[in-house]
């Protein structure tokens, strides 16, 4: 793969950190955002780390110059949160925080990057959604809504940007072992997964790298599931 400029949100841990490592090990130049740059766990000559809170419009504004001078060819909208609660107990704040971060954050960050990609007449946008947005999950009305929103956003954007050779896809992981799922993984759940195991970060990273590559030139507007078979239509 020819070296590209890649911007990844939430690159400091979990799936995002794996994606940063994957692109670096393929020789790419990476801009990774996080909320506290002083604690970023990786160092590399081809890595730039900058602070961004994707739920904060002001922080997005401050980030504009950094993105524009970096000029990303590939964007991975990875940062996301859960605030689970059963629907009747779900507060406005739990709803709004998750929608603001996962969905509005993805919208705002993509806006920062899309103009440059349109000028370059080449781009790859990969949004991390979730099978929760496709199958629904009790206790995750906010999260499921945000993630299926991302899939719809992906399809509309794919139609708007396709003529400029920009592909837009989402990757929908199942259960992947990270901080986010730390207290959810159990034997009962594993039994429901046809491949018989919880996913690891690398399972997601390889799909993101594929979608960013020339091998995926003719794939756009899709939601690709990486879940060991847990959700089948």
Among the listed residues 7, 23, 143, 153, the single catalytic one is 143
Choice between 2 and 92, CB closer to ligand NDP: 92
State in angstroms the smallest separation of the CB of 177 from ligand NDP.
7
Catalytic, 143? Answer: yes
CA 157/CA 104 separation, integer angstroms: 14
State in angstroms the smallest separation of the CB of 165 from ligand NDP.
26
223: enclosing H helix or E strand: strand 223-226
Sheet arrangement for strand 74-77: 47-51, 29-34, 5-8, 74-77, 123-128, 166-173, 223-226
| Angle at alpha carbon of residue 15, lines to 176 and 205, rounded to 5° | 90
- Is the backbone of residue 228 left (phi > 0), alpha (psi -120 to 50) or beta? left
Token pair belonging to 127: 């949004």
Q: Which residue has the tokens 């506290």?
A: 36
DSSP 129: -
Choice between 88 and 191, CB closer to ligand NDP: 191
Choice between 88 and 138, CB closer to ligand NDP: 138
CA 137/CA 144 separation, integer angstroms: 7
State in angstroms the smallest separation of the CB of 72 from ligand NDP.
16
State in angstroms the smallest separation of the CB of 142 from ligand NDP.
12
Choice between 181 and 190, CB closer to ligand NDP: 181
State in angstroms the smallest separation of the CB of 80 from ligand NDP.
2
CA 149/CA 76 separation, integer angstroms: 16
Q: Which residue has the tokens 């020819």?
A: 2
Interface ranges with ligand NDP (CB under 6 A): 9-10, 12-16, 34-35, 52-55, 78-81, 101, 128, 130, 173, 175-176, 178-181
DSSP 6: E
Token pair belonging to 96: 């709004």
Q: Which residues are catalytic?
A: 143
């Amino acid at each position: 793969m020819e070296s590209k400029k890649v911007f990844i949100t939430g690159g400091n841990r979990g799936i995002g950190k794996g994606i940063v490592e994957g692109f670096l090990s393929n020789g790419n130049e990476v801009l990774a955002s996080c909320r506290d740059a002083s604690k970023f766990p990786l160092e590399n000559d081809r890595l730039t780390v900058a602070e961004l809170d994707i739920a904060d419009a002001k922080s997005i504004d401050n980030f504009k110059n950094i993105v524009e001078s970096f000029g990303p060819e590939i964007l991975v909208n990875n940062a996301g949160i859960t605030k689970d609660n059963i629907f009747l107990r779900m507060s406005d704040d739990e709803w709004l925080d998750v929608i603001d971060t996962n969905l509005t954050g993805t919208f705002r960050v993509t806006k920062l990057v899309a103009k440059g990609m349109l000028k370059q007449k080449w781009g790859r946008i990969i949004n991390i959604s979730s099978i929760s947005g496709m199958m629904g999950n009790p206790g995750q009305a906010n999260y499921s809504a945000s993630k299926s929103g991302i899939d719809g956003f992906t399809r509309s954007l794919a139609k708007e940007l396709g003529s400029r050779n920009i592909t837009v896809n989402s990757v929908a992981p199942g259960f992947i072992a990270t901080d986010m799922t730390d207290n959810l993984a159990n034997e009962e759940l594993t039994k429901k997964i046809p491949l018989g195991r919880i996913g690891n970060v690398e399972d997601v990273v390889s799909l993101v790298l594929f979608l960013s590559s020339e091998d995926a030139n003719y794939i756009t507007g899709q939601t690709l599931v990486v879940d060991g078979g847990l959700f089948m239509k």
